[in-house]
Amino acid sequence: MRNWILVVCLAVALSAIGCKGKPIPPEVQEAEHQEKALWRAAASLYVPEKHDQYLKSLRDAKDRLIKEKAKLPLFRDFGEIQTDFQNLLLTGDELLKSVEIRKQQRSEAVSNQIASINKRIDSLKKLTRMINKGRFARSILIRIELKLSEADLQRQRGEIIEAEKKLLELIPYLNDADDMVFSILERYRDASHLDRWERWIKETIMESEKKKIFAVVVTKIDRRLIVYQAGKPLMSFDVGLGPNSLADKIHAGDYATPEGKYRIVKKIPTSQYFKALLLDYPNNDDRERFQQQRKDGLIPPGVGIGGLIEIHGGGQDAITNGCVSLEDKNMGQLFDLLVVGTPVTIVGSTRRKNSAFFGKGN
C-alpha cells in the first residue's frame, strides 16, 4: 500500500512540474486528412471492399490511440501506434491511386458506351425516315440524345457514377425506339423475303443477259437504282422513296413503295416531276395479294389497291407517295436510255446482311 502511494505521488509530482510525455504522432492527423480525401474521391463506390478494409484498420488504430492516450503522460508509448498509422497512410495512398485508375477505366467505358449509343441512334435515324412511325421514333431519339449529352457532361466533370446511372435510365427508351423501328424491318431479316428478293434479282439480270437488253433493279433499304445492260451493271443512282417505303405496298394511300417484278408501260416526257416512267403496278401478283389480305381483314373497307407507280424526276427529296424519284439530270439519262417493256424489279434488299441487321441491340 505504501509503494502504491509513492507511485501516485511521484506521478502527480511529475505532472505538476510539466512533464507532458511523448506527443501524438503527426501521422494521426495525416490519416484524418487522407480519410476525407478518400471520401471525396468516392472510394466506397469505386473500390468498396478495399475501402471497407481501410476503414476497419483506421478504426482499430484509433481505438489503440485512445487507449494509449488514456494512460498517464509519463507511461504513454506511441511507437507501435505510429507504425500502424504509417502503414495505414501507405495503404490509403495506394487506395487513392486505385480509385483514380478505376475512375479512368469507368470513364473510358462510359465514353465508349456513349459512342456506341450515338452510332445506334444514327442508324435508327436513317431507318426512321423510311417508315410511317418514323416521326414518333425520331422524337424519342431526340430525347435520348439530350440525356446522352447530359451523361457526357457528367463524365467530363468526373461524375462517373452519375453518368453511368444516366445511361442506364435511357436504355429502356432506346430499346423502345429499336422495337418500334425493327418491328417493321423484321421482314428484312426474314429468310423467305430475302430468298424471294434474291430470286427476282437473278431472274431480272438473267433476262437482261439473255435478251441483251437494259434492266433496272431498285433496292429500297439502300435507296439505290442500278441499271443493267446485257446482265452487267452499267450505272447506278441514289433515289428517293415514299414516307413508308420500307413496307411493301398493300393498298392505295399506304405511302409504301411496291415490291415485285414490273415493266415500263409508258414514257411520260413532260411530268409534274420532270419526266416519268410508268410501271405496270398493280400486276397479277399484287392483285392476288391484295385480295387475300382483304379476305384476312387487313385492308380497310372501301380502300382500293392503288396505282400510278412511276420512276420520275423531281429530286431525291421530291414528295412521293410510293414512287421512285431521282435527281432530274439522272432521270434524264434514264429516260433516254430505257424503252417501254424494260423490266424493273423492286426489292427490299439485295444483300443478306443489310441495314436492318444493325442497330438493334448493338
Domains and CATH numbers, the chain: 21-189 (no CATH), 191-351 (2.40.440.10)
Q: How far is CA 53 from CA 28, 180, 318, 337, 346, in A?
A: 18, 48, 68, 80, 68
Contact 328, 183 (CB under 8 A): no
Residue among 324, 80, 292 nearest 226 (CA): 324
**How much is the pLDDT for 359?**
46
CA angle 135, 136, 138 (to 5 degrees): 65
- What is the Cα–Cα distance from 69 to 71, expressed in whole angstroms? 5
SS3 for 311?
Answer: strand
SS3 for 113?
Answer: helix
SS3 for 278?
Answer: strand
**How much is the pLDDT for 59?**
93
- What is the Cα–Cα distance from 202 to 182, expressed in whole angstroms? 27
**How much is the pLDDT for 108?**
92
Q: What is the pTM of this model?
A: 0.58
**How much is the pLDDT for 357?**
46
Q: How far is CA 236 from the centre of its chain?
A: 31
**How much is the pLDDT for 362?**
46
Residue among 155, 70, 76, 65 nearest 110 (CA): 155
Which residues share a beta bridge with 268? 276
**How much is the pLDDT for 123?**
80
- The pLDDT tens digits along the chain (362 residues) read 555 555 445 555 445 444 456 789 999 999 999 999 999 888 888 889 999 999 999 999 999 999 989 888 888 898 999 999 999 999 999 999 998 999 899 999 999 999 988 888 888 877 776 665 566 677 788 888 888 999 999 999 888 989 999 999 888 888 887 777 777 677 777 888 888 999 999 999 999 999 999 999 999 888 899 999 999 999 999 998 877 777 777 788 778 889 999 999 999 998 888 999 999 999 898 888 888 888 888 787 788 888 888 999 988 776 678 899 999 999 999 999 999 999 999 998 876 654 444 444 44
Q: What is the dihedral of CA 42, 47, 53, 55, to 10 degrees?
A: 0
Please give the grid coordinates belonging to residue 106: 469507368
